[in-house]
């Protein structure tokens, strides 16, 4: 049995690790839908996150009660995997601080993340993140609650790199529909769905900018929703194009039937997973020195790549070779 160090220790010593998150983020805005999503997550496993929505989920005047419901659900026994976050109201709404106070105060220990919508600048995003930190301190938490920031305004796109660089940011989300609406008819409504969303020059630029900003700062880029709720082929094609053509590593779901097609489209190639396992096992046996595999040289640079492939395979529910699972994921 090998006594060599684990790849997370050997390959990334002293560096910020790239977040390995579920490839799908499912939005739910009512107690009934949040509960159904949690039950589905219990069935599928933690291959998708659940975002409990305050922004679009709360009726006007009912913001406090809605936030309390979200906190109660996140802190409930139905949240079996602790992979539920919350989208708060946007920074211009009077309820956003109340959302943070209630959800962090009542469910902060189990809260996976907070999503910040409609930021118009990096300074505005920074203000909200700082307030989340203050709420976490008041709640006695000993960790930073990850922030997911929606890029759906002109200002946020302009500041995408600065937003991604903010401490605590884990995900940059691209919000297609609000972004299109913000162009005052210059982008047709047809571009809210495929193929237009992947072809219109302004949207291609925006998506590439968000993905590049996220990846440059060790942050996960997350793609917008697919408006088709039930056609698995269309949903999977959107997710596949987002992954292959733009580098998005995560995508939103707004309907339960979208979850599995998104996750499957975001999975690594099976052959690459097999190669990753073989290369890392051989590298660990050599204490992470250079090796040859199928006539090619591999060293720590390729080991890092293949370690992330293996982690993505696991988080998306792919089967792993037994020896790789035993050595790398026994815990």
Taken in order 288, 290, 291, 292, the sign of the CA dihedral is positive
* Residues 6+ positions from 295 with CB-CB distance below 8 Å: none
Asked if residue 323 belongs to a known ligand binding site, the reply is: no
**Distance of alpha carbon 242 from alpha carbon 172, whole angstroms:** 14
Please tell me the predicted confidence (pLDDT) of residue 330.
85
> Do 139 and 170 form a contact (C-beta atoms < 8 A)?
no
Render pLDDT for 129-176 as a digit per residue (tens, 0 to 9): 999 999 999 999 999 999 999 999 999 999 999 999 999 999 999 999
> Do 79 and 110 form a contact (C-beta atoms < 8 A)?
yes
Structure-token match 């492939």, residue found = 309
**Distance of alpha carbon 34 from alpha carbon 58, whole angstroms:** 13
Please tell me the predicted confidence (pLDDT) of residue 2.
46
Pick the CATH number of 24-266 from 3.40.190.10, 3.30.390.50, 3.40.50.720, 3.20.20.60: 3.20.20.60
Q: At 13, is the pLDDT very low, low, confident or very high (cuts 50, 70, 90)? A: low
Please tell me the predicted confidence (pLDDT) of residue 1.
43
Domain residue limits, the chain: 24-266, 269-329
Neighbours of 85 (CB within 10 A): 25
Asked if residue 78 belongs to a known ligand binding site, the reply is: no
Render pLDDT for 277-287 as a digit per residue (tens, 0 to 9): 999 999 999 99
Which has the closest alpha carbon to 266: 304, 326, 312, 228?
Answer: 312
* Residues 6+ positions from 97 with CB-CB distance below 8 Å: 131
Average pLDDT over residues 171-194: 97
Render pLDDT for 56-107 as a digit per residue (tens, 0 to 9): 999 999 999 999 999 999 999 999 999 999 999 999 999 999 999 999 999 9
Q: At 3, is the pLDDT very low, low, confident or very high (cuts 50, 70, 90)? A: low
Between CA 226 and CA 155, with CA 28 as vertex, the angle to 5 degrees is 60
Average pLDDT over residues 252-256: 98
At 200 the three-state DSSP class reads coil
Average pLDDT over residues 223-236: 98
Flag whether pLDDT at 247 surpasses 70: yes
Flag whether pLDDT at 198 surpasses 50: yes
Average pLDDT over residues 296-311: 96
How confident is the prediction for the chain on average, in pLDDT?
96
Following DSSP, what letter does each residue of 16-67 receive, concatenated? PPPP---SEEEEE-SHHHHHHHHHHHHHH-SSEEEEEESTTTSPTT-HHHHH
Beta bridge partners of 149: 116, 172
Structure-token match 């039950």, residue found = 39
**Distance of alpha carbon 241 from alpha carbon 258, whole angstroms:** 15
* Residues 6+ positions from 29 with CB-CB distance below 8 Å: 52, 53, 56, 57, 58
In angstroms, what CA-CA distances link 115 with 31, 37, 84, 100?
18, 18, 11, 11
* Rg, C-alpha atoms of the chain: 20
**Distance of alpha carbon 149 from alpha carbon 153, whole angstroms:** 11
Taken in order 156, 159, 164, 168, the sign of the CA dihedral is negative
pTM of the model: 0.94
**Distance of alpha carbon 69 from alpha carbon 226, whole angstroms:** 27
Please tell me the predicted confidence (pLDDT) of residue 12.
82
Please tell me the predicted confidence (pLDDT) of residue 14.
66
Asked if residue 199 belongs to a known ligand binding site, the reply is: no
């Amino acid at each position: 049995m090998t006594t060599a160090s684990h790849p997370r220790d050997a390959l990334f010593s002293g560096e910020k690790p790239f977040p390995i998150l579920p490839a799908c983020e499912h939005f739910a805005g009512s107690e009934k839908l949040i509960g159904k999503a949690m039950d589905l997550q219990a069935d599928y496993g933690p291959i998708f996150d659940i975002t409990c929505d305050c922004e679009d989920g709360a009726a006007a005047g009912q913001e406090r009660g809605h936030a309390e419901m979200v906190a109660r659900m996140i802190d409930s026994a139905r949240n079996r995997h602790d992979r539920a976050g919350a989208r708060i109201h946007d920074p211009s709404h009077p309820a956003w601080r109340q959302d943070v106070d209630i959800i962090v105060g009542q469910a902060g220990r189990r809260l996976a993340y907070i999503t910040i919508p409609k930021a118009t600048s990096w300074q505005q995003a920074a203000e909200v993140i700082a307030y989340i930190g203050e709420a976490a301190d008041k709640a006695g938490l000993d960790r930073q609650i990850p922030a997911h920031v929606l890029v759906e305004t002109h200002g946020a796109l302009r500041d995408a790199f600065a937003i991604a660089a903010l401490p605590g940011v884990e995900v940059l989300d691209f919000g297609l529909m609000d972004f299109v609406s913000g162009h005052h008819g210059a982008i047709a409504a047809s571009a809210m769905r495929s193929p237009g969303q992947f072809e219109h020059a302004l949207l291609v630029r925006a998506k590439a900018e968000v993905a590049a900003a996220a990846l440059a700062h060790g942050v996960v880029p997350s793609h917008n929703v697919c408006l088709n709720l039930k056609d698995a082929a269309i949903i999977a094609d959107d997710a596949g194009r987002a992954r292959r053509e733009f580098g998005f590593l995560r995508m939103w779901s707004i309907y339960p039937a979208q979850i599995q097609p998104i996750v499957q489209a975001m999975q690594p190639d099976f052959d690459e997973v097999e190669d990753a396992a073989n290369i890392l096992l051989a590298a660990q046996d050599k204490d992470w020195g250079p090796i040859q595999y199928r006539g090619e040289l591999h060293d720590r640079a390729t080991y890092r790549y293949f370690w992330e492939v293996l982690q993505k395979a696991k988080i998306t529910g792919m089967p792993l070779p037994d020896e790789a699972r035993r050595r790398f994921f026994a815990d």
